[in-house]
């Protein structure tokens, strides 16, 4: 087990970033004397030699897309090396434990799980009973995700693929290498559609400032001039985050950064926006999701359409960019909601700030979702399809399902053509007016609006 490659770490997809799902387990396992191999299958093939030498394979599956790929990789490992223990770790592994432990996986870990991954390796090495590994779900027993503070180590990145292979920062002056760190994990909030609350149940854990700064330093040495804070919500602990970016700016004044925070936090901590901008913040991603107060209420998002408008005003005053993420297709979103969303994006000069894929996002309902026991969900809910890792649902207005199919296909083709987002937006407007029957505003006014500015972004659109 301690030989090079005795443990195989696999990342399946991490939103285009160099995977923390490899770097952090590598840091923990190396500190314990193991020498794992690490493969990011979103960037390189997994060859047979690496599979053959592994006694433990740990696959990081933080989200739906990653799990879909992860199950295929697990099948390949099972076929090539049947005695290798396969552990899947991450939010989506926990939500789908029953299905995964019926075949694709031997064990599941979730939450603050890296120390337990080390315990798993030690137990396999010593031939000990795996039931003693804290937080480890096995075919015959389920364990709760781990919600205990870890003694963090600095993520290990030396053997990962170069940062230049991953999402870069694109801005008016060109393209720059970007790195990604986390300053906290979990979340204080319980939004019903999010996969994090079933795992963290309203808790979050800060990663010590010195650990995060050491990780940033390493990525700067590897060429990064921009850092993405990949925390679920960077403003769950505003004091920690602000002190961190102040110190980062003192040490590396050339670094810019972006982070994700909910609308409610951006309103509550509006006074921090100028300080964040001064420390190098270029943009903030926020889960606007919908402009329908009814939908926002069902999702328990903690904000209203009016709050979104206020936050946009605050960002304009602070000369910062807000990049909204959306869930336009829910069982409760109406055709006019969709149309109004497009109007809003255009009127508020957000066309270049919203990735086209966001206009096609349809709410996934995984096992354990907080939406499952909502009365508003029951009329629409279909069966659980275990191998799809989600429940089916149908919109009461068939035009919305048709619109979703057309927009998804258009966005996918546009991404292959590397089409500019404003062109894709115009296509979506046309599809919308064709299916919903509303007239699209003139293309000319929108194009003029968009040409006025160039919004900073990462080069890879994200798919959950």
User: Interface with ligand SF4 by CB under 6 A: which residues?
Assistant: 187, 189, 191, 194, 196-197, 232-233, 262, 287
CB 4 within 8 A of CB 50: no
The CB-of-145 to ligand SF4 minimum distance in angstroms stands at: 14
CB of 302 or CB of 335, closer to ligand SF4: 302
The CB-of-196 to ligand SF4 minimum distance in angstroms stands at: 5
CB of 188 or CB of 246, closer to ligand SF4: 188
The CB-of-232 to ligand SF4 minimum distance in angstroms stands at: 4
- The total number of residues shown for the chain amounts to 464
| Secondary structure tally for the chain: helices H, strands E | 17, 17
CB of 53 or CB of 304, closer to ligand SF4: 304
The CB-of-285 to ligand SF4 minimum distance in angstroms stands at: 10
Query: Treating both helix axes as pointing N-terminal to C-terminal, what angle do 421-436 and 335-347 enclose, rounded to 10 degrees?
Result: 150
Distance CA 253, CA 250 (A): 6
The CB-of-269 to ligand SF4 minimum distance in angstroms stands at: 14
82 Cβ contact partners less than 8 Å away, ≥ 6 residues apart: none
CB of 189 or CB of 457, closer to ligand SF4: 189
Burial class (CB in 10 A: 0-12, 13-18, 19+), 402: middle
Pairing verdict, β 85-89 and 381-385 = unpaired
- What are phi and psi for residue 231, nearest 5 degrees? -60, 145
DSSP state of 226: E
Distance CA 372, CA 367 (A): 8
DSSP state of 146: B
Structure tokens at 338: 């969709």
CB 422 within 8 A of CB 352: yes
The CB-of-229 to ligand SF4 minimum distance in angstroms stands at: 13
CB of 285 or CB of 450, closer to ligand SF4: 285
The CB-of-193 to ligand SF4 minimum distance in angstroms stands at: 7
The CB-of-370 to ligand SF4 minimum distance in angstroms stands at: 9
| Consecutive H or E run containing 321 | strand 321-326
CB of 232 or CB of 366, closer to ligand SF4: 232
CB of 289 or CB of 352, closer to ligand SF4: 289
CB 277 within 8 A of CB 256: no
CB of 42 or CB of 236, closer to ligand SF4: 236
CB of 6 or CB of 62, closer to ligand SF4: 62
Burial class (CB in 10 A: 0-12, 13-18, 19+), 317: exposed
The CB-of-127 to ligand SF4 minimum distance in angstroms stands at: 40
Burial class (CB in 10 A: 0-12, 13-18, 19+), 199: buried
């Amino acid at each position: 087990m301690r030989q090079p490659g005795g443990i195989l770490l696999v990342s399946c997809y991490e939103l285009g970033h160099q995977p923390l799902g490899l770097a952090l387990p590598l840091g923990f396992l190396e500190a314990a004397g193991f020498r794992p191999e690490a493969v990011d299958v979103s960037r390189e093939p997994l060859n047979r030699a690496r599979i053959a030498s592994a006694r433990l394979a740990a696959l990081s599956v933080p989200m739906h897309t990653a799990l879909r790929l992860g199950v295929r990789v697990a099948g390949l490992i099972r076929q090539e090396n049947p005695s290798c223990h396969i552990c899947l770790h991450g939010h989506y592994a926990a939500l789908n434990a029953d299905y995964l432990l019926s075949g694709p996986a031997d064990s599941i870990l979730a939450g603050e799980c890296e120390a337990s991954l080390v315990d798993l390796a030690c137990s396999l090495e010593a031939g000990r009973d795996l039931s003693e590994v804290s937080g480890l779900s096995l075919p015959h027993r389920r364990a709760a995700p781990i919600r205990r503070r870890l003694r963090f180590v600095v993520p290990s990145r030396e053997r990962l693929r170069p940062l230049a292979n991953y999402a870069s920062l694109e801005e008016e002056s060109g393209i720059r290498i970007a790195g990604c760190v986390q300053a906290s994990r979990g979340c204080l909030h319980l939004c019903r559609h999010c996969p994090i609350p079933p795992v963290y149940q309203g808790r979050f854990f800060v990663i010590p400032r010195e650990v995060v700064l050491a990780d940033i330093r390493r990525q700067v040495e590897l060429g990064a001039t921009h850092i993405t804070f990949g925390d679920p919500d960077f403003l769950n602990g505003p004091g920690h985050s602000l002190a961190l970016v102040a110190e980062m700016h003192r040490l590396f004044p050339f670094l810019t950064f972006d982070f994700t925070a909910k609308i409610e936090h951006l309103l509550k901590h509006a006074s921090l926006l100028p300080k964040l901008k001064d420390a190098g913040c270029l943009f903030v991603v926020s889960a606007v999701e919908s402009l329908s107060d009814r939908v926002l209420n069902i999702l328990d998002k903690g904000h209203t359409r009016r709050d979104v408008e206020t936050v946009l005003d605050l960002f304009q005053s602070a000369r910062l960019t807000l990049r909204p993420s959306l869930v336009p297709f829910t069982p409760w979103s109406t055709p006019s909601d969709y149309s109004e969303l497009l109007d809003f994006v255009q009127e508020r000069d957000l066309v270049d700030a919203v990735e086209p894929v966001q206009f096609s996002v349809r709410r996934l309902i995984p096992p354990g979702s907080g939406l499952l026991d909502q009365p508003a969900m029951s009329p629409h809910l279909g069966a659980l399809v275990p191998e799809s890792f989600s429940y089916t649902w149908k919109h009461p207005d068939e035009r919305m399902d048709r619109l979703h199919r057309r927009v998804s296909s258009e966005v996918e083709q546009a991404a292959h053509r590397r089409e500019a987002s404003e062109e894709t937006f115009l296509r979506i407007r046309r599809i919308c007016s064709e299916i919903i029957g509303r007239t699209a505003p003139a293309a000319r006014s929108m194009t003029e609006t968009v040409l006025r500015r160039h919004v900073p972004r990462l080069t890879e659109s994200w798919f959950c």
